[in-house]
Structure 1
Amino acid sequence: MKKLLLLLICCQALAQVQKTEPPFWYAGMKNPRLQLMFYGESIGQYVVAVSDHVPITDVTRTGNPNYLFVTIDTKNISKATTLTFSFSEKKKTVFTVKYELRAREKNAALRKGFDASDVVYLIMPDRFANGNPANDNTPATIEKADRSNPSGRHGGDIKGIIDHLDYIQSTGATTVWNTPLCEDNDPRGSYHGYAQSDVYNIDPRYGTNADYLQLSSELHKRNMKLVLDYVTNHWGSEHWMIKDLPTYDWIHQFPGYGQSNYRMTTQFDPNHSENDKKFCVDGWFVKTMPDLNQSNPLVLNYLIQNAIWWIEYANLDGFRVDTYSYCDKEGISKWTKAITDEYPYFNIVGEVWMHDQAQMAYWQKDSKIGAIQNYNSYLPSVMDFTLHDAISSVFNEDKPSWDKGIIKVYENFVNDFLYPNPNSILVFAENHDTQRISHWYPDLNKYKLAMTLIATIRGIPQLYYGSEIGMEGNKDKGDGDIRHDFPGGWTGDENNAFSATGRTETQKQYFDFTSKLFNWRKNKTVIHNGKTMQFLPEDNVYVYFRYNDAESVMVVINNSDAQKTFGTARFNEAIRNFKTGKDVLTDADFDLGQPMTVDAKTALILELK
């Protein structure tokens, strides 16, 4: 009889509670406050209690009776345990729900995030490698694989990434950043992953949560790191909560859809119109991406806990945060601070796609510019889009002028004083949203100039998958053209660029250069955290030094279309007592006391002796 009663209670619980989020939690967190969201038909009508004398500090019912938010205090729970939540009506228990608090990994709070010693390899998983063709289509997801459609799903997955970790490591990369892997159930264009429909589960076309944990484990076995692409600004219109909103203001409504004006400067413009600011911050990125309201405490706490859950669960080393500066700036500041309070050495880089260093520096942690408006984002890292702007044209500017040629790169670093921590900026030549570098520069020599710059300046370099083999693409033809399948990632591909023997001669030249450059960088602390001294470019030749007390590296970039010879005396304050330099790319030796000759469109990286 007792067994039958227990079975009936369990069945009733399953019927009443369709989702509990977070699905489990961890004991011993710095912030003991845990807000559980219970979802089920009319669940808000019940009185809730919890076992083991765990205090319930708040119960929030919303206008939607299908939600119940229950906050508990876990400060007295230091070990793994299972709690029992009971749901009662008229003082009688109707059903119960078990909830697990797991043990944390040792020193989980002290995890060290990615930093300037790393090289980040950015992957669009659907386009990298298809390790498991069986999951290309699943019953639970709408869009089916169609490799002939540039904007469709092609079948790349987590197993495909795991299968090629040795290849990724061979490029010199130390860290993998994948565009979002959580479920995106849009009927079209779902491969990019930014319109998520479930933020606690990996999209089944990429694999399972267990597959993602395996990716993390395999990376860590190689002393590599894993960065999760997190989206705080919006979800997809197919998200289950969007279809049954907990509160009307869970998303920004106008009512319903309102288009963002994308003018992020309204966040700090002292002369802004409130209406303009509203349509930037509250407006939807696109019609299929409802804009989340981070000023709603329930939304904000949901996002904080989801982010922390993924860090603990998948043993993450960092976040890249999409459209960071479109979020409510006070809300995103609280989100970022909550994570970095829990993990003081964790790194988070925000996509702040702006074209002015002061505006980008506003968003970095402890910014003096932000402090003018009493604002601190607590964001450790931003992306160097002004450098990207310069890279997009500079190597085609053979004839220098006051504001053309390599002076653009010099001027970018002149403004480093604006950043609280310029060494924690992500530097890149391209990513999944920009033109492929091969479109600007279908020339190996110019690619080498760009990569030499990215590898040797301050900050954290990021490569975009396929750059290292000269992968082509033109964004003017659509996003699909800058997100081609990696050759060799699919059975039957004629060209397998994952294999040294399978690469074309051109792919080999690109790969060999990239691999040599970034593998050299791995052990060069003078590049990771050394100081920079740059010299005004002359005749389109740019010289800068990365140095510390023990080492110095001299970088020479000849952006001219002609060979250049120049004296070195004006660099003496950086050369100091060093006499010679060996080029790490060619092993050629240079006497620093003699004039230096550098071929057209060529760079030197000289380790000084």
Structure 2
Amino acid sequence: MVLRQRWAWALFLALGAAGCLQRSAPPVVAPNGTVVAVAYVRDEAQQRGVVADVPEAVKQAVTEVLAKRNLQVQVVPYAQYSAEFAKVTDSQRRFAMLTALAPQAQLYLLVETRASRFGEVNGRFSWEVYARTTAGRAGSQLEPSTTNQDYGIALQFSHLGANDAQVEVGRQIAGQAAGLFDSFLASPLVAPAPETDGGPVVVPGLDAPAGGQQPSPPSGAGGLDGGAVWVPPAGDAIYFVMVDRFANGDPRNDGKVDLKDAQAFHGGDLQGVISRLDGLRALGVRTVWLSPVFQMRTEKFYGYGAFHGYWVEDFGRVEPRFGDEALLARLSEELRRRDMRLVLDVVLNHVGPETRLVREKPRWFHGQGPIDNWSDARELTMRDVHGLPDLAVEQEEVYQHLLGHSRRWVDAVKPAGYRLDAVKHMPLEFWARYNDDLRAHAGKDFLLLGEMLDGDPVLLASTMAEGRFGTMFDFPLAFALVDVFCRGRSPAHLGAILFNDRLYPAPGSLVTLVDNHDLPRVMSECGGDVERVQRALAVQLTARGVPSLTYGTEEGLSGKKEPENRGDMRFTPDHPLRAWITRLLELRRGSEALQGGETLVLAAREDLFAYARVTPDEAVVIAVNSGKAPVDVALPDGLVGSRLSEMLTGVEIPGAGRHSSVIVHPGQVSLLRLKPSAAGGFGALTKQAGARWRGQGERRTVELTVDDASARLVGSGPELGGWKPERSLRPESGGFKLSLPVGAVFEYKLVRDGTPGKFDWEGGDNRLLFVPEGREPLRLKLAWGKR
């Protein structure tokens, strides 16, 4: 038997799967007799056209999870397809070959892997295994569903190879396959699978649409099993308060303060928040999210201040500088009295440096020192973030300590939810268990909002689903808003980011932002230009999801880095951003389309992005024109003839019943409301927009010819490799032939193979691809480095 040393993290995953961290929900089962045909292939990382079979241990892991779903696995012999798979790298074509090889099966699964070795790290040999699983139904006219994932592992000995690396992540690959079939087998009404009488087998849920990724449910619908997705309250808007920096309502609890020292405490407290609730409600806020209020380290650590509250010492007590438990409960009550809600910030990954718990319970901590390699998945979850003692949450005693206090605060204070800190630094198995356990105690409407500071929507979406979060902060959109409005990037970049909505379990629940207390203030990012900030806020506050604001945005607070971005709050009645935010949130609360409309792209080019949010009774056009001249944007047939008005002013635009386009003025964000002028409304268009935006609507052939046979294509979205060059598309017959959803917006670039393991990227801005309606193929010619 080959001996191998796994990461401690891999051992933890195995223990979690076998014991306390396993999810409690049983898998959904198929009717008796449902056959799934499976093919496996490993593509050689460095040699195109070279393939191999995958280890039997991986196949066995997949067979076991499918058997739990009552699926009969028919493994297609590798020899029957290996030669053809070596000629073809496209997953859809391989999948079509699989269906032809097993015509009697009802379901199909294609498992493709690739293993790459990256060298030696601390005496172990680093590997990355890429796994792509594709599943579909026999005879379906819809595209099969696909999911991808990279797994970083380490092997102890240099002679261990690609097969050993695959075996290490066999359980995770099996989990990918299980997730795909769970989505197929889930039906609206959970019921035992029916027995069959030997006739055609119909699997519940298999007639549901499926695209390149798992489809997102409509805004506000539950997309995760067990009702994990949070349904936002109507008209919600979240406001983050850093308690020490907001308002000093009771100087008696200040302790030592120094208003001239940006790293010192400044005296803000819970009473100060209570005193400002009416002002927040007038701004349009409906949910107040507090920075951590639990007893914390209060002394500086190597010159860094503790005022922010994230250095928790005792999760079971309120920090005396802020007040006490009774005052926190009163704040929650005062919010409810105003039809507002409280969200508490919960820190579960670590405690403050040199706090009492570290001395009293040293075994509760990993004690492996600070993170050295921020690209190492094991270090991210097992080591100390910036020196903060990392809790060993895989220990049952530690888990119960954290869950017990979390439950008690729900009972004592009655918050509407928790903001969950440092998601990427804790195992997803922990999050899945914690979120389900807390939701069972607090109720399905309790907000479990994950903070994962990452711009990768694929990673964010998978984390939301696998971690059982109610929702997540939308950092990809936040970064895009800053890039477009503060740094001059093409407004069409917003479209490419938003088109990733189809990846999320429920994009309508995402919490949007333009900055937060860990990022530069948007005012600083935009160079102090109030109008640029107004445009960024106009797009954020009219986008799908729930908008969140950082305290002081309405006052133009600035600051590029900590602690300058955590400055003291100001309260002035006439700052232009205060009136702007108030007006936008008022419009949002009064608009069905802005709260839950489907997305329909109208135009996307280098200097323009225009889209509509559509419901049967209303549509709102949001358009950004960065050019120097007005642009006439055509309306789709379903909106032609609508009554049209400027949303910010409420002024109706003459010509009711004759509008076939809208004018988008340069240098601003246009907000235009459309109302139906005839019976029937926009119902058909709303349905069409929803299907398109989830990748389930019409598709169009796109043909890209390239003058360089060595050039490959990579870009946004799984279809184009998700910006990972190792997944880039290779040209065939001088170009790329793609089938892409109508209404899609992508960004992409050309890349070439460079030195081993490296890629050369063409220079310049990203290329843009918008797929409009049309029956003929969309044809484009590409040349390396030329636009």
Match of 1:391 in 2: 481
Identify if the C-alpha distance between structure 1 residues 387 and 510 changes in structure 2 by more than 3 Å, giving closer, same or farther.
Answer: same
Match of 1:41 in 2: none
1:263-342 map, 5 Å: 263=375, 276-287=376-387, 289-342=388-441
Identify if the C-alpha distance between structure 1 residues 113 and 195 changes in structure 2 by more than 3 Å, giving closer, same or farther.
Answer: farther
Q: 1:465 aligns with which of 548, 551, 554?
A: 551
Match of 2:768 in 1: none
Distance (Å, rounded) in 1 between the aligned partners of 2:306 and 2:400: 26
Structure 1 unaligned spans of 5+:
1-30, 32-108, 138-143, 264-275, 366-375, 399-403, 488-495
Tell me the SS of whatever aligns to 2:659.
coil
Q: 2:341 aligns with which of 203, 213, 225?
A: 225
Q: CA deviation digits over 1:335-364, x for unaligned, max 9? A: 111112231121111111112111111111
Match of 1:35 in 2: none
Q: Structure 1 length normalisation: TM-score?
A: 0.69
Tell me the SS of whatever aligns to 1:589.
coil
Distance (Å, rounded) in 2 between the aligned partners of 1:301 and 1:338: 11
Q: CA deviation digits over 1:168-203, x for unaligned, max 9? A: 111111110111111112411111111101111111
The residue identity in structure 1 corresponding to 2:464 is: Q
Identify if the C-alpha distance between structure 1 residues 205 and 161 changes in structure 2 by more than 3 Å, giving closer, same or farther.
Answer: same
Q: 1:549 aligns with which of 616, 629, 634?
A: 616
Task: Tell me the CA shift for residue 594 of structure 1.
Answer: 6.3
1:517-596 map, 5 Å: 517-538=584-605, 540-560=607-627, 562-566=628-632, 568-569=633-634, 571-573=635-637, 575-585=639-649, 587=651, 589=653, 591=655, 593=659, 596=662
Distance (Å, rounded) in 1 between the aligned partners of 2:308 and 2:336: 25
1:367-378 map, 5 Å: 376-378=466-468
Tell me the SS of whatever aligns to 2:564.
helix
Task: Tell me the CA shift for residue 577 of structure 1.
Answer: 4.6
2:428 and 2:467 in contact (8 A); partners too: yes
Distance (Å, rounded) in 1 between the aligned partners of 2:342 and 2:674: 34
Task: Tell me the CA shift for residue 238 of structure 1.
Answer: 4.3
Q: CA deviation digits over 1:429-485, x for unaligned, max 9? A: 01111111111222222112111111111111101111112222222xxx1211111
2:293 and 2:318 in contact (8 A); partners too: yes
Match of 2:470 in 1: 380
Task: Tell me the CA shift for residue 539 of structure 1.
Answer: 5.3
Supply the RMSD in Å over aligned alpha carbons: 2.3
Match of 1:133 in 2: 251
Tell me the SS of whatever aligns to 2:594.
helix
Task: Tell me the CA shift for residue 123 of structure 1.
Answer: 1.1
Does residue 350 of the first structure (1) align with residue 450 of the second (2)?
A: yes
Match of 1:359 in 2: 459
Does residue 212 of the first structure (1) align with residue 278 of the second (2)?
A: no
Tell me the SS of whatever aligns to 2:535.
helix
Q: How many residues align?
A: 442
Q: Which has the higher contact order (CA 8 A, sep 6+)?
A: 1
1:123 and 1:179 in contact (8 A); partners too: yes
Distance (Å, rounded) in 1 between the aligned partners of 2:672 and 2:567: 35
Match of 2:367 in 1: 253
Match of 2:534 in 1: 448
The residue identity in structure 1 corresponding to 2:613 is: R
Task: Tell me the CA shift for residue 574 of structure 1.
Answer: 5.2
Identify if the C-alpha distance between structure 1 residues 607 and 236 changes in structure 2 by more than 3 Å, giving closer, same or farther.
Answer: same
Distance (Å, rounded) in 2 between the aligned partners of 1:602 and 1:314: 44
Distance (Å, rounded) in 1 between the aligned partners of 2:494 and 2:521: 19
Identify if the C-alpha distance between structure 1 residues 587 and 448 changes in structure 2 by more than 3 Å, giving closer, same or farther.
Answer: farther
Distance (Å, rounded) in 2 between the aligned partners of 1:415 and 1:195: 35
Tell me the SS of whatever aligns to 1:223.
coil
Task: Tell me the CA shift for residue 397 of structure 1.
Answer: 5.2
Distance (Å, rounded) in 2 between the aligned partners of 1:113 and 1:536: 30
Distance (Å, rounded) in 2 between the aligned partners of 1:585 and 1:438: 25
Q: 1:407 aligns with which of 492, 500, 504?
A: 492
Deviates more, 1:577-586 or 1:125-134: 577-586
Distance (Å, rounded) in 2 between the aligned partners of 1:196 and 1:460: 28
Aligned identity (percent) is 27
Identify if the C-alpha distance between structure 1 residues 595 and 532 changes in structure 2 by more than 3 Å, giving closer, same or farther.
Answer: closer
Q: 1:181 aligns with which of 293, 311, 330?
A: 293
The residue identity in structure 2 corresponding to 1:606 is: L
Match of 1:103 in 2: none
Q: Structure 2 length normalisation: TM-score?
A: 0.54
Task: Tell me the CA shift for residue 590 of structure 1.
Answer: 6.0
Identify if the C-alpha distance between structure 1 residues 397 and 201 changes in structure 2 by more than 3 Å, giving closer, same or farther.
Answer: closer
Distance (Å, rounded) in 2 between the aligned partners of 1:582 and 1:481: 38
The residue identity in structure 1 corresponding to 2:600 is: M
2:234 and 2:589 in contact (8 A); partners too: no
Distance (Å, rounded) in 2 between the aligned partners of 1:116 and 1:382: 18
Distance (Å, rounded) in 1 between the aligned partners of 2:460 and 2:427: 16
Distance (Å, rounded) in 2 between the aligned partners of 1:219 and 1:121: 13
1:455 and 1:461 in contact (8 A); partners too: yes
Tell me the SS of whatever aligns to 1:395.
helix
Task: Tell me the CA shift for residue 582 of structure 1.
Answer: 3.2
Tell me the SS of whatever aligns to 1:394.
helix
Distance (Å, rounded) in 2 between the aligned partners of 1:468 and 1:298: 44
Tell me the SS of whatever aligns to 1:420.
coil
Distance (Å, rounded) in 2 between the aligned partners of 1:116 and 1:484: 31
Tell me the SS of whatever aligns to 1:552.
strand
Match of 1:172 in 2: 284
1:446 and 1:601 in contact (8 A); partners too: no
Task: Tell me the CA shift for residue 329 of structure 1.
Answer: 2.0
The residue identity in structure 1 corresponding to 2:347 is: V
The residue identity in structure 2 corresponding to 1:294 is: V
Identify if the C-alpha distance between structure 1 residues 523 and 606 changes in structure 2 by more than 3 Å, giving closer, same or farther.
Answer: same
The residue identity in structure 2 corresponding to 1:455 is: L
The residue identity in structure 1 corresponding to 2:630 is: K
Match of 2:220 in 1: none
Match of 2:156 in 1: none
Distance (Å, rounded) in 2 between the aligned partners of 1:295 and 1:355: 27
Does residue 513 of the first structure (1) align with residue 603 of the second (2)?
A: no
Tell me the SS of whatever aligns to 2:307.
helix
The residue identity in structure 2 corresponding to 1:431 is: N
Distance (Å, rounded) in 1 between the aligned partners of 2:268 and 2:242: 8
Q: CA deviation digits over 1:383-439, x for unaligned, max 9? A: 1111111112212455xxxxx410111100111111111111111001111111111
Distance (Å, rounded) in 1 between the aligned partners of 2:555 and 2:650: 20
Distance (Å, rounded) in 2 between the aligned partners of 1:294 and 1:153: 30
2:645 and 2:674 in contact (8 A); partners too: yes
Distance (Å, rounded) in 1 between the aligned partners of 2:485 and 2:638: 25
Task: Tell me the CA shift for residue 516 of structure 1.
Answer: 0.8
2:474 and 2:512 in contact (8 A); partners too: yes
Match of 2:777 in 1: none
Distance (Å, rounded) in 1 between the aligned partners of 2:360 and 2:392: 15
1:321 and 1:349 in contact (8 A); partners too: yes
Does residue 160 of the first structure (1) align with residue 250 of the second (2)?
A: no
The residue identity in structure 2 corresponding to 1:243 is: R
